[in-house]
Structure 1
């Protein structure tokens, strides 16, 4: 039985590893496993204050008399713990440390992509926000290793740059920051599987609105693109993903890549070596026949890739259910949401008393997520818009001033 150390709480990853016969130890924060099903629980739990901190994880292991060398493989399926797992795993890591760094640091990513000759936005590192100089407007200011569009600012002109500088100084977040040129194409998500350096499976979704528009109140909805209906899109997406994986050194695992589509094709935006949030995994399995968690676990354990079923007919999309920022008082549950028109599956992660994150600050904020299906794309988009309205009308939030 392969002994696996999983850094960061990921119940579906645990279940996938267990199904393939692994003995799983997981390092995670206390309470994260409160609602886990029996099949999603690790064989051994190591509770730590910060799964992304090397010291925290190593100390948690040591308190139980464990070392990374006690495991056959050390891995992560979580954005913020990938580098930690690669660093403490060493030669037992499921991923080389340089690859983990390339898949996390956006400036490193863009450097590798540009060196490979792929189209990518110009970008510059701002070590200290006090030294912010914008070479051309519009630009986007973001953390070099963020996720979910958190702490992202659109700088349309000098006034916006001055405002962002002052806000970050007030919050004592001086940097480093990444400044990149604003991209105008339509944003797409490219999710897939790479094994032995070869691209195996691919699924492409179109964002209903580019992620950056969430700051204007746009809904975060990913609409699946059917390979039979969009062969040229998939040809371009396959070429981009293959070249990007080579450039980043990602030879075995899963990836979530974002790119802008313009009249000349795809422009690389960023890429993570993990599974997209929301209901992306469910949509990938239902629509495209790809079990991303199983494929990730197979890569971790060195097992052959699974088979991809043909794409299923129909239109699918998944999105987040935004609520105004504040303290949640009441909201519909997943069973009620699943009864709404077009909804195939729903997940709610907030309970009364929890803080509701401002949906304009993160793509993954809100009450939960839903997967929808319909005869046409218009049906899916209409049902999602009506679902968001219904959730907001039937929920109660003590809103922030």
Structure 2
């Protein structure tokens, strides 16, 4: 039995590893496993304060009389703990440390992509926001290792750049930051599996609106693109994914990439070595026959790729259910949402009294997530729009408490 140390709480990753016969120890914060099912529980929990901190993880192991020698492999499926796992795992890590860094740090990542000859936006490192100079407008300012478009700022003019600089200084967020030239193409999500350096599975979804537009109130929705209906899209996506994974040294595992498509093809945006959030995993299995968690676990355990699952001919999309910022008083239940037209499955993670994060500040904000289906892609988008309207009309939010919002200037 392979002994695995998983850094960071990921219940579906635990279940996938266990199904493949691994003995799983998970280092995670107290309470994260409260709602876990029996198959999602690790064989052993090491409760720590911060899974992104190597000291916290190593100290937690020591308190349990454990060392790295007790594990065959150290891994992560969480965005913010990937480098931690690769660092402490060393020769036992599921991926090399340079690969983990390349899949997290956006400046390092884009430099490697550019060196490989792939199309990618021009970008500039901003070590200190006080000395930021913007070479071109519009540009996008973002954290070097962020996720979900948090703290991402569109700079449309010198005045907007000055305003963003002052706001970030006021919040004591000096940097470093990454500044990149704005790319006008339509944004797509490219998810897939690599084995032995070769692309094994691929799925592509189109954002209903580019991710940055959520800061203007646009909905977060990924619409699955059928390979048979979009052969050129998949040819271009496969070409980009194979070259990008090779440039980043990501040879075994899964990936979630974002890219902008224009008349000349794809422009690389960014990429993570993990399963996408929301209900992308459910959609990938239903529409494309890809079990992303199983494929991730097989990559960790150095097992051959799994079989393709049966696929459905329906059209699917998954998205987040936005609500105004404040405190939740009431909202429809999961059962009520799943009874709405076109809803295949829903997750509701907020309860009465919980803080509702401003949906303009993060792609992961809102009441929960939903998977919608329909006979056509247009019907799927219509079902989602009607659902969001219905949820907002049937929810009550106490908006008196200030909750903050995204910095977004033009």
When the two structures are superposed, what TM-score results if normalisation uses the length of structure 1?
0.99
The range that moved more, 390-399 or 170-179, is 390-399
Would the aligned equivalents of 2:286 and 2:310 in 1 still touch at CA under 8 Å? no
Equivalent residue, structure 2, for 1:201: 201
Q: Deviations over 1:213-265 (max 9, x none)?
A: 00100000000000000011000000000000000000000000000000000
In 2, the alpha carbon distance for the partners of 1:62 and 1:398 equals 45
* Deviations 1:290-335 (CA, angstroms, capped at 9, x unpaired): 0000000000011100122464312100000011111112222211
Question: Considering only aligned residues, what root-mean-square deviation do their CA atoms show, in Å?
Answer: 0.8
Residue aligning to 1:260: 260
The equivalences for 1:2-401 within 5 A come to: 2-309=2-309, 311-399=311-399, 400-401=401-402
Give, in angstroms, the shift of residue 389 of structure 1: 0.9
Instruction: Measure how far apart 1:91 and its partner are.
Output: 0.3
State the alpha-carbon separation in 2 of the partners of residues 244 and 377 from structure 1: 28
State the shift of 1:53 in Å: 0.5
Q: Is the 8 A contact 2:113 2:120 kept in 1?
A: yes
Deviations 1:73-112 (A, max 9, x none): 0000000000000000000000000000000001011000
Cα contact 1:184–1:260 (8 A) shared by 2: yes
Q: 1:378 Cα deviation (Å)?
A: 1.3
| Structure 1 runs not aligned, ≥5 long | none
SS of the aligned residue for 2:299 comes to helix
Structure 2 unmatched ranges of 5 or more: 403-410
SS at match of 2:328: strand
1:166 aligned counterpart, secondary structure? helix
- SS at the partner of 1:391? helix
Partner of 1:17, secondary structure, is: helix
Counterpart contact for 1:220–1:319, Cα < 8 Å: yes
Residues 267/237 of structure 1: CA separation in 2 closer, same or farther (3 Å cut) = same
Match of 2:406 in 1: none
Contact 2:285-2:311 at 8 Å conserved across structures? no
Does structure 1 retain, via aligned residues, the 8 Å contact 2:291–2:309?
Answer: no
2:188, 2:206 within 8 Å by CA — same for their partners in 1?
Answer: yes
Shift of 1:356: 1.1
Q: Distance in 1 between matches of 2:397 and 2:59?
A: 39
Q: Which runs of 4+ in 1 moved over 6 A?
A: none
Is the Cα–Cα contact under 8 Å of residues 323 and 358 in structure 1 kept in the other structure? yes
Check whether the contact 2:6–2:74 (CA below 8 A) recurs between aligned residues.
yes
For 2:193, what is the secondary structure of its paired residue? strand
Q: Deviations over 1:352-371 (max 9, x none)?
A: 22211110011111110000
Distance 1:275 1:47 in 2: 23
Query: Take 2:66 and 2:356, find their aligned partners in 1: how far apart are those partners?
Result: 37
Alignment partners' CA distance in 2, 1:68 and 1:258? 34
Name the SS of the counterpart of 1:50 in structure 2.
Answer: coil
Distance of 2:259 and 2:69 partners within structure 1? 38
**Partner SS state of residue 323, structure 1:** coil
Tell me how far apart the structure 2 counterparts of residues 96 and 327 of structure 1 sit (CA, whole Å): 43
Count of residues in Structure 1 that have an aligned counterpart in Structure 2? 401
